A = this chain, B = another copy of it.
Amino acid sequence: MQPRLPDMPTVPYYAVIFTSIKQPEAGQDYVDMAREMEDLVRNQPGYLGHESARDSLGITVSYWDSLEAIAAWKKEARHRMAQQLGREKWYQHYTIRICKVEKEYSF
């Protein structure tokens, strides 16, 4: 299920661009963990929203009010477990980019 496009505060805020290629064998355990992380991140301090899409490549962009909030989410205990399983079992490759959003406009 696609979250709606989030209503963001005025710039600047922060974005984490997570691009990934899954292992072909990533299965129900991956889906369950992804859902668990979606639920968990919503209660994380400083979390503003996220958007994701996947075809051959997956792109998830999450939005945050500060670099400190991003660092705290990276260190969250259950999320660390998910990251480790991701490297061991689910992802062929991923890249994470931490960005400062300087301008935004919509149509």
Chain A residues engaging chain B, CB cutoff 8 angstroms: 2, 5, 15, 17, 19, 21, 51-59, 61, 67, 86-87, 91, 93-107
A5-B93, A53-B59 known, 6 other contacts, Cβ within 8 Å: A15-B17, A15-B99, A59-B61, A67-B102, A98-B101, A100-B100
Given A52-B57, A58-B53, A103-B98 contact (CB < 8 Å): yes
The smallest beta-carbon distance between A10 and chain B, in angstroms, is 12
Please state the number of chain copies in the assembly: 2
Q: Given the complex, which residues of B lie within 8 Å of A106, measured CB to CB? A: 93-96
- The 8 Å CB contact of A54, one of B55, B102, B103, is B55
Residue pair B104, A101 in contact (C-beta under 8 Å) = no
